[in-house]
């Protein structure tokens, strides 16, 4: 009698052989030895002397937990009195409180010369500066106005000279 084996029948036979081997191995092995009573927590009798380490652990567990290091968003530091607090409550302002220094003037505008272009108009060479004026690109010729009252007074192939409203000049050069 000829039997044709398919992949399914081979798989069933291999599975059956593995299951039989596993069942046979568990039946022939001895069961693991029972654990000794001293290593089991539940088998300890109540009349035995307490272990010092266990007592320390019980005491530690009874203590409230310590706060973690770092910032606790629910705990605030003591508030220091400010000048306004003294004024609101009618107290005299303490002499030791120093006021923060106020800036004298706003920061100067930030100009940077990016390039200079030239073209010929009616036979005359006209220079145009490409200036970065506080982050904005500006094409400026001699006599043009920039931000914060600055004006272009001179322009050549390598530099541009600016003047502000108070007469202070600033020269920007190509890198």
CATH code, domain carrying 128: 2.30.30
Q: Is residue 148 part of a domain?
A: yes
Q: How would you classify the pairing of strands 151-155 and 111-121?
A: unpaired
112-157 pLDDT per residue, tens: 999 999 999 899 999 999 999 888 999 999 999 998 889 999 999 9
**pTM here?**
0.40
How many separate domains does the chain show? 1
74-102 pLDDT per residue, tens: 777 666 666 666 666 665 555 555 667 77
Note down the domain range covering 136.
Answer: 111-173
Bridge partners, 120 (sequence order): 125
Beta carbons of 102 and 91 less than 8 angstroms apart: no
């Amino acid at each position: 009698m000829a039997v044709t084996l398919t992949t399914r029948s081979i798989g069933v036979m291999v599975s059956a052989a593995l299951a039989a081997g596993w069942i046979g191995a568990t039946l022939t092995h001895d069961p693991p030895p029972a654990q000794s009573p001293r290593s089991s927590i539940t088998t300890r009798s109540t009349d035995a002397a307490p272990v010092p380490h266990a007592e320390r652990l019980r005491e530690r567990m009874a203590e409230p937990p310590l706060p973690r290091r770092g910032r606790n968003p629910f705990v605030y530091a003591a508030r220091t009195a400010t000048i306004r607090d003294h004024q609101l409550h009618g107290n005299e302002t303490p002499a030791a409180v120093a006021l923060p220094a106020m800036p004298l003037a706003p920061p100067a505008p930030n100009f940077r010369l990016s390039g200079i272009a030239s073209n010929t108009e009616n036979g005359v060479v006209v220079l145009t500066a490409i200036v970065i004026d506080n982050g904005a690109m500006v094409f400026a010729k001699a006599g043009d106005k920039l931000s914060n009252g600055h004006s272009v007074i001179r322009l050549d192939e390598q530099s541009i000279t600016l003047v502000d409203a108070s007469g202070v000049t600033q020269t920007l050069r190509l890198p």
